[in-house]
Amino acid sequence: MDITIKKFARADTEAVMELLREFAEYEDLLQFLELTEERVERAFFADGSVAEGLVAMADGKAVGYAFFFPNFASFRGQRGLYLEDIYITASYRRYGIGEKMLREIARLAASRGYERIDFLVLDWNESAINFYKKLGAEMDQSERHFRFINDAFKALAA
């Protein structure tokens, strides 16, 4: 199987949106999926956008994607990338595609002088947790992830 990893481009939007729907179903979060092609355009391709992505291609089709953006860890003084999503469609897992994508993200981060990759994993996703640990990722169990969104965000911004 010939696997290639390429930079996410506008032409990939429809295929990646379908993969994202699969991912949302897999994580039982489909009811929260609000991403539209317009939001993809704004986040990834508009002037000043900071979101980036990679697409895994195999057998002539998109079989995985990763979305990420720059971040900063103040206590350590380290710049890095925050991995928002990484997903490989079920029938293409266990072929090394996820590791290949993570290595590409790490090389990209290192080429920019960054020192870390941060991400979250749902607590029930043992296969993902084991995958990341196998690659050397450290799990910080002392943190809780919070967000201001929808009405809470609007109230805070008012």
DSSP letters spanning 34-68: ---HHHHIIIIISTT---EEEEEEETTEEEEEEEE
26 flagged as catalytic: no
> What are the two backbone dihedrals, phi and then psi, of residue 151, each rounded to the nearest 5 degrees?
-65, -40
Give CA–CA dist 100/1, Å, rounded.
Answer: 14
Catalytic residue chosen out of the listed positions 65, 87, 92, 132: 132
The residues carrying an active-site annotation are 132
